[in-house]
């Protein structure tokens, strides 16, 4: 039996997925109607390739979000869990991919230069990879390798005095 929080999350996830589904369908239909329909003379092979790439990005991101938001039911059919929170974790990255893809499709109706916005996805992915994984790991290994040797005698003595004072305060409290 799920609580009110799980039921609210289920409803929120269903509304969010319905909104994303409408946005994806709207962007794709707009692009197909304008670029491949009304302006079909300017739609070369790259535009068809771009449509396939955007459809793949849409499908992958939407399916990942819907899998994360999938609720869990018991054997009797009652709600156990309302699904994952779509505001946290990797779900925000999938939202970014969907929003950038929709923007690219909408702008590509007007100009072919809009496809260059897709360069933001690997740039943003590289930024996240560096700030979340590589940067912290690199700075941690750098501080571990030369941390003790890098301190001069004055700094080491000052830190040791501060540690002793902190230890005395802890001992006095107990």
27 against 44, higher pLDDT? 27
The residue segments making up the domain with residue 102 are: 4-173
Whether pLDDT at 22 is above 90: yes
Domain count of the fold of the chain: 1
Residue 57 near residue 97, CB atoms below 8 Å: yes
Q: Where are the extended beta strands (E) located within the chain?
A: 72-73, 79-81
146 against 97, higher pLDDT? 97
What average pLDDT does this structure show over 87-98? Answer: 84
Least confident of 26-35, 66-75, 77-86, 124-133: 77-86
100 against 168, higher pLDDT? 100
């Amino acid at each position: 039996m799920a609580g009110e929080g799980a039921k609210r999350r289920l409803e929120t996830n269903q509304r969010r997925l319905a909104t994303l589904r409408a946005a994806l369908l709207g962007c794709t239909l707009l692009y197909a109607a304008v670029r491949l329909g009304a302006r079909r003379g300017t739609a070369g092979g790259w535009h068809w390739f771009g449509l396939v790439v955007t459809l793949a990005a849409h499908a992958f991101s939407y399916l990942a979000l819907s899998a994360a938001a999938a609720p869990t039911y018991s054997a009797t059919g009652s709600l156990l869990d309302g699904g994952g929170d779509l505001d946290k974790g990797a779900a925000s990255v999938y939202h970014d991919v969907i929003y950038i893809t929709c923007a690219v499709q909408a702008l590509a109706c007007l100009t072919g230069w809009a496809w260059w916005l897709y360069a933001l996805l690997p740039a943003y992915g590289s930024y996240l990879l560096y700030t979340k994984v590589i940067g912290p790991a690199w700075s941690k290994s750098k501080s571990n390798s030369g941390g003790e040797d890098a301190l001069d005698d004055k700094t080491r003595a000052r830190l040791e005095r501060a540690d002793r004072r902190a230890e005395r305060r802890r001992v006095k409290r107990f």
